Amino acid sequence: MSANTSAPRRSKRVLPGFGLTLGYTLFYLSLIVLIPLLALLFKTFSMSWPQFWEAVTAPRVLASYRLTFGASFIAACVNLVFGLLIAWVLVRYRFPGKKVVDALVDLPFALPTAVAGISLTALLAGNGWVGQYFEPLGIQLAFNPNGVVIALIFIGLPFVVRTVQPVLEDSEKELEEAATSLGATRWQIFRHVILPGIMPALLTGFAMAFARAIGEYGSVIFIAGNMPMVSEITPLIIIGKLEQYDYAGATAVAVVMLFFSFVMLLVINALQAWQRRHAGMPA
Amino acid sequence: MTSTTTLKTLFAALALGASALASAQSSSLLNVSYDVAREFYKDYNQTFIAHYKKTKGVDVKVDQAHAGSSAQARAVNDGLAADVVTFNTTTDVQFLADNGVVAKDWAKKFPHDASPTTSTMLFLVRHGNPKNIKDWADLTRPDVKVIVVNPKTGGNGRYAYLGAWGSVREKGGTDAQAADFVAKLYKNVPVLAKGGRDATATFLQRGIGDVLITFESEVVSVEREFGKGKVDAVYPSVSITAENPVAVVERTVAKKGTAELAKAYLDYLYSDEAQEIAARHAIRPRSEAVLKRHGDQFKPIQQFTVAKYFGSLTEAQKVHFNDGGQFDKLYGK
């Protein structure tokens, strides 16, 4: 139809030919991601279907899914709100020590998660700096699902901040000024001007924080209390099965987690695509 | 000319280096062991190396690797080239035997069922024993909070559970009564620790619970670590014998030619010198003489073996700790 499509075009690419680049990409992804995941699947093949089903639907395992996915969801939601707030402050305000605050955001990335778990437990336990003020109120922060959520909020925060921040930096202030001059309220500006632009990034950050929380082990294990049916996370169930030399059972539960994480990521990708279309941006 | 000579020298040097490496390899051992045995084997290795040099005139090098006992067993099974394994639960060695990594009859290869040392389960209470905890029965009192390791994730926890169960049997109770007792005890557990050290930290650093059930060897190291006077050790009227089994990893020694050295390494664990080192690290020696010498540390306690009430740890694992077993029933709905 248009003249552009028929015109011969040879643009210079930084990387060598498409075939080579794609081939390398697929090879590398297979090596690093796909093959290990396939190995996981193969380990479960030693089980029959009823055995598999029994292993992944035992009451303790079901309770652990509820805790892991529930706590991860709550933590990701909290991070969505407060991560956006932090990103906003870091982008739009200037204040002394901003660089330090900016660096602090990355700390949960860099810190060994076990260290985070141990320090959080020390803080939140009944005799800890923070925990001692909550205990008289009858609120137990550590060694129950509360502790799990707090640990997951901690490790998930940077994901939201770091995905939203660059998008906020790029967003055009002129649009907001135009909206103001047209008499829009602050809430209207946020709702109709800012939010649509950052929504895909927010959702991505949410998805990453959520996915990371599902697989988190080190920081949670010290603070959870690990009581069966109450505060056992799914990764602990997997470790427990390995301790019983139940390789197949451990991988079976791992495969279920993998499946749910994958579904979650697909849903969020679909949400993002829908959101982009909705906002009238190129998908 | 000169370049070829340089090349030749280089090759010669490389060959020499390689042969030196090879010979070094054949007289080095890797002992794969559990977490808290690190200090003991550090001392033992020195003594063994000196002993081997004196008797055989050979310099040996012993490397050690420590982590959770069954994690280590899995690593060896998956290919970690250990020459010997020294664990704290017989199930871990049995797992390797079942997979053909160690000899099927490993338990008969060395004296005392191939366990040169043992430990037992004791109670650790806060200084002065404010809750007056004397014996297993006190652990089911409604006012007592018990810290214990999850038997699903740690050998320490399995022994604590079996110790509680056996304490009822030892007094003439039935299995049903034992099950009731254990169920009541675990109702008093606010936190199931992942491993021995985690349990210790929960009890001492977080200040949770009135009593910690743990290995005798851990009790002593806690006293060393946190200072005497913070906690008291309580010796219940009966407790369980926890064996520390050892085995030669046949798969590795066949490949490396270290069978003789590996056997010598484990044999020497039964010597008075080694038993003395074990006693210093609060691990119960098998040698009666050494035990007597450390009588103030290893208070006499009536002990029963796992075999007496549970057949073997492998049997106990099946009945009590595997998924759907007796332990799960305590929490299941």
pLDDT digits (tens, 9 = 90+) for B128-177: 999 999 999 999 999 999 999 999 888 889 999 999 999 999 999 999 99
> Kindly report the CA angle at B82 between B78 and B83, in degrees rounded to 5?
140
Tokens of A99: 């660089």
> What pLDDT is recorded for position A128?
85
CA distance A230 to chain B (A): 9
Interface test with B, best of A51, A148, A237, A244 (most B CBs within 10 A): A244
CA distance A107 to chain B (A): 24
pLDDT tens-digit series, residues B271-305:
999 999 999 988 999 999 999 999 888 888 999 99
Residue B95: how many other CB atoms lie within 10 Å: 22
Indicate whether B20 pLDDT > 70: no
Nearest CB among B150, B207, B331 relative to A229 is that of B331
- Among residues A79, A101, A250, the alpha carbon closest in space to that of A152 is found at A79
Q: Which residues contact A220 (CB under 8 A, 6 or more apart)?
A: A117, A147, A148, A151, A152, A233, A235
CA distance B326 to chain A (A): 13
CB pairs under 8 A between A and B: 80
Whether chain B has a CB inside 8 Å of the CB on A125: the answer is yes
Inter-CA distances, B263 with B31, B83, B220, Å? 12, 9, 30
Query: Taking CB atoms and an 8 Å cutoff, what residues of chain B touch A240?
Result: 150, 152-153
A58–B194: do the CB atoms touch at under 8 Å?
A: no
Which residue numbers of B have CB closer than 8 Å to A's CBs?
68, 70-71, 73-74, 95, 150, 152-154, 189-194, 198, 201, 205-208, 317, 321-324, 328, 330-333
Residue B113: how many other CB atoms lie within 10 Å: 15
Whether chain B has a CB inside 8 Å of the CB on A20: the answer is no
Q: Which residue of A has its CA nearest to B318?
A: A244
Interface test with A, best of B94, B149, B150, B330 (most A CBs within 10 A): B150
Nearest CB among B191, B201, B207 relative to A225 is that of B191
CA distance B51 to chain A (A): 36
- Return d(Cα A157, Cα A205) in angstroms, integer: 9
Beta-ladder partners of B31: B64, B84
> What pLDDT is recorded for position B1?
40
pLDDT bin (cut points 50, 70, 90) of residue B121 is very high
| Residue B290, H or E segment | helix B288-293
> What pLDDT is recorded for position B333?
47
Look over chain B and give the mean of its residue pLDDT values, rounded to a whole number. 88
Query: Taking CB atoms and an 8 Å cutoff, what residues of chain A touch B73?
Result: 245
A125–B71: do the CB atoms touch at under 8 Å?
A: no
> What pLDDT is recorded for position B149?
92
Token look-up 């010796």 returns B235
Query: Taking CB atoms and an 8 Å cutoff, what residues of chain A touch B74?
Result: 242, 245
Inter-CA distances, B227 with B8, B222, B297, Å? 62, 8, 16
B194–A121: do the CB atoms touch at under 8 Å?
A: no
Q: What pLDDT tens digit does each residue of chain A (283 aa) get?
A: 444 444 455 566 677 778 888 888 999 999 998 898 888 888 888 888 999 999 899 888 999 999 999 999 999 999 999 999 999 999 999 999 999 999 999 999 888 888 898 889 889 988 888 988 998 888 888 888 999 999 999 999 999 999 999 999 888 888 888 888 998 888 888 888 888 888 889 998 999 999 899 989 989 988 888 888 888 999 999 988 888 888 889 999 999 998 988 888 888 888 888 877 766 554 4
B333–A229: do the CB atoms touch at under 8 Å?
A: yes
CA distance A178 to chain B (A): 56
Nearest CB among B150, B206, B317 relative to A121 is that of B206
A121–B95: do the CB atoms touch at under 8 Å?
A: no
What is the CB-side half-sphere exposure of residue B281 using CA atoms within 13 A?
19
CA distance A243 to chain B (A): 6
Tokens of A140: 């137990």
- This prediction's pTM: 0.80
- Return d(Cα A173, Cα A283) in angstroms, integer: 23
Indicate whether B178 pLDDT > 90: yes
pLDDT tens-digit series, residues B182-193:
999 999 999 898
> What pLDDT is recorded for position A138?
86
Q: Which residue of A has its CA nearest to B189?
A: A227
DSSP letter (8 states) at residue B321: I
CA distance B153 to chain A (A): 5
Q: Angle at which helices A35-44 and A247-278 pack, to 10 degrees?
A: 130
- Return d(Cα B122, Cα B135) in angstroms, integer: 10
Q: Which residue of B has its CA nearest to A131?
A: B206
- Return d(Cα B280, Cα A160) in angstroms, integer: 53
CA distance B191 to chain A (A): 5
